[in-house]
Amino acid sequence: MHHLRQMASQRGYTTVNEYTDRISGAKAKRPGLDQMMTDARRGKFDVVLVWASDRFARSVKHFLDVLDELNRLNIENVSFRENIDTAGPLGRAIVVIVGAVAELERNLIVERVRAGMRRARLEGQHIGRNPLVLDDAAIQKDLQDGKSLRQIAKGHRVSTATIQRVPSKASSASPGPHPR
């Protein structure tokens, strides 16, 4: 962010807002990007500074859709890392190439992960989390003792939703002792 602020200052730009997302660029719906596009449509700025072109999206189609809309709104896109300005046709062409490479990189990562998981399964390795081992009897006893779901969950170090999924043994248990 520091470099973008410095670049904006050097070019004499006034910063209107800083938009950030903490989720993958592979997702089309991201709060920061969505807010930026909303503000762009409202005419709140005329230049977008980004750290790198591939930060917008990992899909060339999505990337081009965003760029097309920004261009239609007469908003310039400037990338710090690639030092590209989309105001001209050459800058736009280079950005398209960078977007294609980013999409390729994303697809290669996905394929490597899938191949690794297939290999691990073939070797008999467990994939994912280990299954939860719960003491159903102790949970049932806690429920019968009148403890709250939250108390039980905390005691067993699981979520309240997990406690709610523990099957009720009340229907299969025999009735308690009868009063004399």
Query: Are residue 152 and residue 114 in the same domain, yes or no?
Result: no
The domain of 162 spans 129-171
Q: Is the pTM of this model over 0.85?
A: no
* Residue 43, domain CATH: 3.40.50.1390
Q: What is the pLDDT along the chain (180 residues), one digit of tens a residue?
A: 788 888 888 889 989 899 888 766 556 578 888 899 999 999 999 999 888 776 766 577 787 788 888 888 989 888 887 777 666 778 778 777 877 787 788 889 999 999 999 999 999 998 888 888 888 889 989 989 999 989 999 998 899 998 888 876 544 444 444 343
Query: Are residue 12 and residue 98 in the same domain, yes or no?
Result: yes
Question: Strands of 84-85's sheet, edge to edge?
Answer: 47-50, 76-79, 84-85
Letter string b/e over residues 94-127, b meaning 16 or more CB atoms within 10 A of that residue's CB: bbbebbeebbeebeeeeeeeeeeeeeeeeeeeee
* Residue 143, domain CATH: 1.10.10
Q: How deeply is 8 buried, as exposed, middle or buried, from its count of CB atoms within 10 A (0-12, 13-18, 19+)?
A: middle
**Tokens matching residue 85:** 């300005």
Q: Is 179 a domain residue? A: no
